Structure 1
Amino acid sequence: MSSAVQTSRIKHQKLTCTIGAELFDVDLGDVARDDELFAELHSLLLQHKVLFLRDQNFSRADHVAFAERFGSLEDHPVAGSDPDHPGLVRIYKDLDSPAEHYENAFHCDATWRAEPPMGCVLRCVAGPEVGGDTIWVNMVEAYAKLPDHIKTRIAGLRARHSIEASFGAALPVEQRHQLKARYPDAEHPVVRTHPETGEKILFVNAFTTHFVNYHTPENVRFGSDYAPGASDLLNYLISQAAIPEYQVRWRWSENSVAIWDNRSTQHYAVQDYWPAVRKMERAGIVGDRPF
């Protein structure tokens, strides 16, 4: 592992060769109030995709204030928010947690929205003594390392992303239909462009159900080509997030924080800690329409 690096004000250390850096001697409350310090942290986020800090003993108001430096916050239609701090979603896992509140799949947050979140700030409020790690994946690297013939094949493809088929799947049929009516399936490019860096990103995940423009004469000779051809390709693309060389794994402790760019990463919350309790609070930042 490389030694820590000091930028103008922030000391940091890379955690893997492709993604993740830990910051040292930084108080996010200070960052929220300091334009220069925030700009430096923002630059590090674009470079490393996900940033980690420990011992951030701030209030929920401070959590919201820092996250709002990136933009407006959004609620989640299924997970509960703190009543006094809209946009601060409580992800509390205990023996009474609803079955549909899962995170143990590689996913990019809320791609079932037409405008998925730009990023998130997640703090550990309480966690198990061991277990409950989270894995992040660099989907810029995942796209870059695809074989050239796959890049050619997926150029221009678009895909559907669904809350009904994920969070909604555990609901009674009427509630599931109501959820879809509120949040119709979104359509996104399979390869999106990062609006700030220009990087190309492989943009399919656990919320992706199918391609919407695969059934063309170039891809399909007969109808029998369509279902296996499209689903096999989609499953192959989704599987790229599981490649360890693109990943970083973070072990949580109380008051540790992760800040990630939701446009260029996926993540997976490892649920190996039952019956221990894991309590997290997340501020999701409103994003833009992928292109």
Structure 2
Amino acid sequence: MPKTLRPKERTPALVRPDALRTSLGVEPLTCTIGAELAGVSLADAARDDGLFAEIKSLLLQYKVLFLRDQDITRADHVAFAERLGPLEDHPVVGSDPEHPGLVRIYKDLDSAPEHYENALHTDGTWRENPSMGAVLRCVVSPPVGGDTIWVNMVEAHRRLPEHVRTQIQDLRARHSIEATFGAVLPDEQRRALAARFPDAEHPVVRTHPETGEEILFVNAFTTHFVNYHTPANVRFGQDYAPGAGHLLNYLISQAAVPEYQVRWRWQKNSVAIWDNRSTQHYAVQDYWPAVRRMERAGIVGDRPF
């Protein structure tokens, strides 16, 4: 089992300089998050231990990686993603019949605009074990628009005012699929979804299990704090309601700070690989009625601590 790093043991992800010179190219896209890789095929990386290890280390360092011209098969896509861990299904979005866990996010001409992706979110925090990450490939891109934004939530936590970091260190919050995906369903289906996936409770500040980094871990699926109502926080009722809500909204709003973001322009056969534990993302829906088809392999994660 890999050693779990506490924040005081935090170490950067490192890649051998000679390996980068002789194999894949790395171009950082912003000062805080994201890098584009060149000279590599994910089909090869799925079968090459050394190449995969380089990519995994870069993922921990940059939090989201981008590649162009990945004309690979669905089997290759799945094979690479499975190097990161077992794939997970999705209770709302369908998977490819021949490749379970490869979720098809198809926005075709007969699709009305949907508004669950164009919110800053971390995948699956309504699960007890949210996603570890994902490998997303563009199959059909609109001629313009349809970008995706990723956010470094380690940086968002690091740059909070010190008194806020102290206040939230031990807070926990509830995350809900019923209040998000389920909100558009008929009542009976919404309740069935909630019964299948009861609200999950996670720390507001989680620790990355591999790097030891502290992460601000609230997003569009977060509904409320569960342990805010204490004598230290509440003098009168309004300190809790709306006081707790104001604090939660403030924390959620940190993902909108441009200095923590990278924005990616999709093309056919381009790929994004992201660490879901330390990021949020936002799928910009400015292209309808044009078509965008994406295929995503999400990786099962661990329980946040």
Report the TM-score, using the length of structure 1 for normalisation.
0.97
Separation (CA, whole Å) in 1 of partners of 2:94 and 2:104 = 6
Give the equivalent residue in structure 2 for 1:65: 79
* 1:151-166 equivalent positions in 2, closer than 5 A: 151-166=165-180
Distance 1:112 1:185 in 2: 6
**Aligned ranges for residues 1-291 of structure 1 at < 5 Å?**
6-97=20-111, 102-291=116-305
How large is the Cα RMSD of the aligned pairs?
1.1
- AA partner of residue 293 (structure 2): K
Give the distance between the partners of 2:45 and 2:68, measured in 1 at CA: 15
Give the CA deviation at 1:139: 0.3
SS at 1:33 equivalent:
coil
CA distance in 2, matches of 1:33, 1:128: 32
Are the aligned partners of 1:91 and 1:280 in contact in 2 as well (CA < 8 Å)? yes
Partner SS, residue 112 of structure 1 = coil
Cα distance in 1, alignment partners of residues 210 and 22 from structure 2: 22
In structure 1, runs of 5+ residues without a counterpart are: none
What residue identity is the alignment partner of 2:287?
Answer: Y
How far is the alpha carbon of 1:100 from its aligned partner?
5.4
Q: Aligned letter for 1:18?
A: T
1:130 and 1:273 in contact (8 A); partners too? yes
- The one-letter amino acid paired with 2:193 is L
- For residue 98 of structure 1, report the CA deviation from its aligned partner: 6.1
Q: CA deviation at 1:227?
A: 1.3
Instruction: State, as a whole percentage, how many aligned pairs show the same letter.
Output: 78
Match of 1:123, SS state, is strand
The one-letter code of the counterpart of 2:138 is C
Give how far 1:252 is off. Answer: 0.2
Letter in 1 for 2:182: G
Q: 2:23·2:39 contact (CA, 8 Å) conserved in 1?
A: no
Deviation at 1:223, TM superposition (A): 2.0
Deviation at 1:187, TM superposition (A): 0.3
Distance 1:135 1:275 in 2: 20
Q: Contact 1:100–1:167 at 8 Å: present in 2 too?
A: no
Distance in 2 between residues matched to 1:100 and 1:129, nearest whole Å: 19
**8 Å contact kept, 2:113–2:288:** no
TM-score (norm 2): 0.92
* SS of equivalent residue, structure 1 residue 210: strand
Q: Deviations over 1:123-158 (max 9, x none)?
A: 000010110000000000000000000001101000
Whether the 8 Å contact between 1:19 and 1:48 is mirrored in structure 2 is yes
Aligned length: 287
Match of 2:7 in 1: none
